[in-house]
Amino acid sequence: MVGFKQGKSSKEIIVGAHYDAVSAGKGIDDNASGVGVLLEAAKALQDIETPYSIRFVSFGAEEVGLQGSKYYASQMDESEISNTVGMINLDSLAAGDHMYVYGGAGEAGFIRDLALEIVKQKDLNIGTNPGENPKYPAGTTGDWSDHAPFKKIGIPYGYFEATNWEIGDKDGYVQTVEHGAIFHTENDTLEFIESAFPGRVQEHLSSFSLLLQELLKSLGSK
């Protein structure tokens, strides 16, 4: 599914969240949470002028090798690629202990950097990968979700996720101290997450929604 919103500029931002899930659990964290925040932003911004045009995309088949986003990126021609200033990926926002925003290294991290400025202004409890694992330098993340095919064709990414980079192999894979990984397990249900972490789903989704909407209003405004 693709929804398009015209902005002041014809330059575009892609906002993406995969809607498929694995068969274990119900896919509430991975990735109904991302799709929900995407739909909320599309609705909230429909009558608000944004600097850039926005393409809201829900990808299929992320869990079987990023098939949806790989296909989407592969059918972009050169003018579409150069017209796209960035891609914001939303994946697994509900269950993890901490909220994060990542981006590329150096200047390719401008979406993350702006997001972190908004976090400060709005006093949100969102940080970035502290970089304790040398494979994933501070502020960045691995190529394991729908941002990767865009990064590969030179489009800078931003990526929202909730997990915990301070535990396990410090690779962002173990989401919680108390119950380990929730995604891809039978615990990925609203009932489990709500009872294990009361209030977390609401707090995470409202924080990420606010950040995404402010980000889409700010990107390209100066």
Residue ranges in contact with Zn ion by CB under 5 A: 30-31, 91
Contact 99, 127 (CB under 8 A): yes
String of DSSP letters for 70-121: HHHHHT--HHHHHHEEEEEEE---SSSSEEEEEE-SGGGGHHHHHHHHHHHH
**What SS3 class is residue 193?**
helix
Q: Which is nearer to Zn ion, 12 or 30 (CB)?
A: 30
157 vs 111: CA distance, rounded Å: 7
Structure tokens at 129: 């990968």
CB of 77 to Zn ion, least distance (A): 27
160 vs 211: CA distance, rounded Å: 10
CB of 95 to Zn ion, least distance (A): 11
178 catalytic residue (yes or no): no
Please name the helix (run of DSSP H) or strand (run of DSSP E) that holds residue 36, with its range, or none.
Answer: helix 33-44
Structure tokens at 33: 């949470």
Q: Which is nearer to Zn ion, 31 or 176 (CB)?
A: 31
Q: Which is nearer to Zn ion, 28 or 45 (CB)?
A: 28
DSSP bridge pairs for 32: none
Of the candidates 12, 40, 62, 117, the residue annotated as catalytic is 62
Q: Which is nearer to Zn ion, 16 or 51 (CB)?
A: 16
Using CA of residue 194, residue 200, residue 203, residue 205, what is the dihedral sign? negative
Q: Which is nearer to Zn ion, 2 or 64 (CB)?
A: 64
Please name the helix (run of DSSP H) or strand (run of DSSP E) that holds residue 213, with its range, or none.
Answer: helix 200-218
CB of 204 to Zn ion, least distance (A): 15
For residue 117, how many other CB atoms are within 10 A of its CB? 13
**Residues with a known catalytic role:** 62
